[in-house]
Amino acid sequence: AQKVTQAQTEISVVEKEDVTLDCVYETRDTTYYLFWYKQPPSGELVFLIRRNSFDEQNEISGRYSWNFQKSTSSFNFTITASQVVDSAVYFCALSPGNTPLVFGKGTRLSVIA
């Protein structure tokens, strides 16, 4: 079965703090893709990153970084020096083989000024 678990339902941080959003996935496929999407209050999901299962290199994009560890089936997302504009619901998703995205339930991040 394919499954994505985002154990943190809600997180609240003060602006400029670092925050890590956890994502654990389950799949029996050896080829799969992992995604993170951001859903701001406007409702439209915004693509952040896609990684394939053969590329475990961590990635950094500005204040965002991602840590992919196959050994623990995790694909965690860290925001450094958080800002109020980072407040949103963040979804981790899995696309195993050739199947549609399976989403986690999301983590609501609130960044307080």
Binding-site ranges for other proteins (CB under 8 A): 4, 33, 35, 37, 42-47, 50, 52, 91, 93, 95, 98-106
Min dist CB 28 to other proteins, Å, is 17
Min dist CB 31 to other proteins, Å, is 9
Cα atoms in the 13 Å half-sphere on the side-chain side of 53 = 18
Q: Which of 63, 69, 67, 86 is nearest to 77 (CA)?
A: 67
Which residue's CB is nearer to other proteins, number 43 or number 62? 43
Min dist CB 53 to other proteins, Å, is 10
Report DSSP state, residue 85: G
Which residue's CB is nearer to other proteins, number 4 or number 111? 4
- Cα dihedral angle (29, 31, 36, 37), rounded to 10 degrees? -90
